[in-house]
Amino acid sequence: MMPSLKKGLVSIRTLLFLLFLLIAAFISCLWIDTSTFSVERSTNKTMVIPAKHNILRNETIEFPLNCAINNELQSKVSVERSTNTTVVISEKHNIPQRETIEFPLNCTINNNQTQTCPTNYPRPTTSRADDQDPPRTVCPNYFRWIHEDLRPWIAAGISRDMVERAQRTAHFHLIIVGGKAHIKKYRESTQTRDTFTIWGILQLLRRYPGKIPDLELMFDTDDRPVIRSSDYHEQNTTGPPPLFRYCGDRWTMDIVFPDWSFWGWPDINIKPWDELSIDIKEGNNGSKWIDREPYAYWKGNPFVAETRKDLLACNVSDQRDWNARLFIRDWIQESQQGYKQSDLARQCTHRYKIYIEGYAWSVSEKYILACNSLPLLVKPYYHDFFTRSLQPLQHYWPIRDTDKCKSIKFAVDWGNKNNQKAQEIGKAASDFIQEELKMDYVYDYMFHLLNEYAKLLKFAPRVPEEAVEMCSEIMACPADGLEKKFMTESLVKSPRITRPCTLPPAYEPHVLGAFYRKKLNTLRRVQKWEDGYWKEFNKQHQQNSVTFMMIYTKSLAIMSACY
């Protein structure tokens, strides 16, 4: 019984084991058969679609290997593919590149024919792709001053009467309706200020077609602001007239706008900023700070303001060296010599460059800050649209306006003894200009300023009968010489396919207060250093004088004794 029982158990176990192998083989065959025609989810989230569906252009199509185990399975694959082929498409689609359409100048060939504005100008972009584009970046911090400049009109808005009252000193009236610009001129501007300001606004419309809302504004191209805050403190007075210009100060409410020179200044052969900033940067790369002349440099017209005339007293002489090298610029002579001595890209040859205002703010500030030299800013009273965010000892060294010569000498002596720190300040200023004052940001500043301004208008803008429609062709095609050259070089040839940078919010009162306190404390700290420097200098000078007198007196006594 026992041997036969053991034999029976072995047979049963053998049969069960063979049955298990058979079942396993059957299940394995089923798994192979079904997996051959399925697609596993991968890490890049692929999905299966029938081949009869349309495949989007630029999508990534994958064909995974389908290896058949035997001829029968291979034939099954062939049959399945013939009826419903499957492909794998990655969800990581390539973003299609939007075509850039250029709009070059369309000048009339026939000189006898009046130049008109083309009808094929860029149209407003309203596609869903444009609406979903994220902004490129947050705008630089100086964009916050847009809110401060418009603050006088936030509560009550801007009426037509307010705009018309700004005509008193305005050079032109700008009207934008339906994305088209119209100009009504009141009086002539100095040189080509109005021409290249209007040109810059037209380029903004080409850059962001349909994105500038309907508006009306008055523009004054003179230097000094005129809308005094003190005239509008009384509650019963009407609101201040909104007047656009190139600079402002703490006592006025003029709205600050980028100046004409960003698109070129043909009267004195200054290139458009886009090109000139590159030239200055290349010049900086070819001249190390430590290898530059260890003095403070300035070249300009001293006869436009008393403060500049005073500066000339700081020039080197036989009696005194205040560490300044100052030169008078004669624009008539420069023009006769082809402006060979006024190439701004070749004037970054000194470790220190002086900025001093003229009749008001000066266009030269951005060129000086871009030089990679330590900027010495004689106390300014005016500001343009980007300089309000600059901080002393971070972007420049402050110079007193009441005692310029001593202040300049101390600054240069300090910098020559503190090379690394002086270079850091100069580089910070240059980086600020090169990175945060690119033409992209200049246009974006204009974009946001005009959009925020338009929101305050309480009337519907309309084109007066005397206004003339303006476009790039109307201005550039009949132009000649440097005007045509600079307009051609600064022409916006195609609309921007990305959104402007994001406008940062207005300053909170405590943040703005902290900003002013920091600036004031830094100015006082530098003045304290300077006072200490001259106190020690005078002390040593006095000691040297006493020593000299003692030696001189003793020498006289010896000489008397000898006789």
Predicted confidence (pLDDT) at residue 543 exceeds the cutoff of 50:
yes
Tell me, what's the pLDDT at 119? Answer: 81
pLDDT given at position 338: 74
pLDDT at 561: 63
In the prediction, which pLDDT does 132 show?
Answer: 55
Region 133-158 average pLDDT: 91
| Strand residues in 410-546 grouped as ranges (E) | 468-470
pLDDT at 42: 38
Write out the DSSP string of 98-118.
PPPPP------S-TTSPP---
Residue 259 scores a pLDDT above 70: yes
Residue 466 is predicted with a pLDDT of 94
530: pLDDT strictly greater than 60: yes
| Residue 289 confidence class, pLDDT cut points 50, 70, 90 | very high
In this predicted structure, what is the pLDDT of residue 120? Answer: 74
Q: What percent of the chain has pLDDT over 70?
A: 75
Find, among 434, 263, 406, the residue nearest to 322 by Cα. 406
Binned at pLDDT 50, 70 and 90, residue 465 comes out as very high
Distance between CA atoms of 276 and 264, rounded to whole angstroms?
9
Model pLDDT, residue 429: 98
DSSP symbol at 267: G
Which range scores top for mean pLDDT: 19-28, 93-102, 204-213?
Answer: 204-213
Give the mean model confidence (pLDDT) for residues 24-28: 54
> Does the pLDDT at position 60 exceed 50?
no
Q: How many helices (H) and strands (E) does the chain have?
A: 16, 14
Q: Among residues 233, 219, 136, 131, which one has the least CA distance to residue 449?
A: 219
Residue 458 has pLDDT above 60, yes or no: yes
Sequence-distant (6+) residues with CB within 8 A of 285 are none
Q: How confident is the model at residue 497 (pLDDT cuts 50, 70, 90)?
A: confident
Q: pLDDT at position 327, please?
A: 95
**Cα separation of 294 and 298, whole Å?**
13
Q: Distance (Å, rounded) from C-alpha 344 to C-alpha 271?
A: 9
pLDDT tens by residue, 237-251: 789 999 999 999 999
Confidence at residue 6, expressed as pLDDT on a 0 to 100 scale: 42
> What is the structure's pLDDT at 518?
97
Query: Which pTM was predicted?
Result: 0.79
Q: Which long-range contacts (CB under 8 A, 24 or more apart) does 42-48 make?
A: 44/90, 44/91, 44/92, 45/90, 45/91, 45/92, 46/88, 46/89, 46/90, 46/91, 47/88, 47/89, 47/91, 48/86, 48/87, 48/88
Q: In terms of DSSP bridges, do strands 468-470 and 180-185 run parallel, antiparallel, or are they unpaired?
A: antiparallel
**What value does the CA radius of gyration of the chain take, rounded to a whole number of Å?**
37
pLDDT at residue 348, rounded to an integer = 94
More confident residue, 402 or 39: 402
DSSP H/E element including 183: strand 180-185
Q: Round to the nearest angstrom and report the end-to-end CA distance of the chain.
A: 159
Euclidean distance between CA atoms 376 and 184, whole angstroms: 41
Encode pLDDT of 499-518 as tens digits.
999 999 999 999 999 999 99
Q: pLDDT of 94-138, one tens digit each?
A: 444 556 778 888 888 677 778 889 887 766 655 444 555 665 699
Q: What does the alpha-carbon distance between residue 442 and residue 434 come to, in Å, rounded to a whole number?
A: 12
Higher pLDDT, 332 or 296: 296
Please report the pLDDT score of residue 213 as a whole number. 97
> Does the pLDDT value for residue 30 go beyond 50?
no
The pLDDT, as a whole number, for residue 16 is 64
Instruction: Provide the pLDDT for residue 104.
Output: 84
| CA geometry: angle 557, 561, 563, nearest 5 deg | 120
Q: With cut-offs at 50, 70 and 90, classify the pLDDT of residue 228.
A: very high
For 380-442, give the secondary structure using H, E and C.
CCCECCCHHHCCECCCEEEECCCCHHHHHHHHHHHHHHCHHHHHHHHHHHHHHHHHHCCHHHH
Average pLDDT of the segment spanning 428-455: 98
pLDDT score at 428: 98
The predicted pLDDT at position 134 comes to: 61
- Looking at the predicted structure, is the pLDDT value of residue 531 above 80? yes
- Asked which of 133-142, 148-157, 354-363, 383-392 is least confident by mean pLDDT, the reply is 133-142
CB contact at 8 A, 270 and 276: yes
Task: State mean pLDDT over 508-529.
Answer: 97
Residue listed under structure tokens 């300040």: 425
Band (66; pLDDT cuts 50, 70, 90): very low
Residue 26's pLDDT band (boundaries 50, 70, 90)? low
Across the range 274-289, mean pLDDT stands at 94
For 130-148, what is the mean pLDDT? 83
The tokens describing 33, both together, are 């058969």
Q: What is the mean pLDDT of the chain?
A: 83
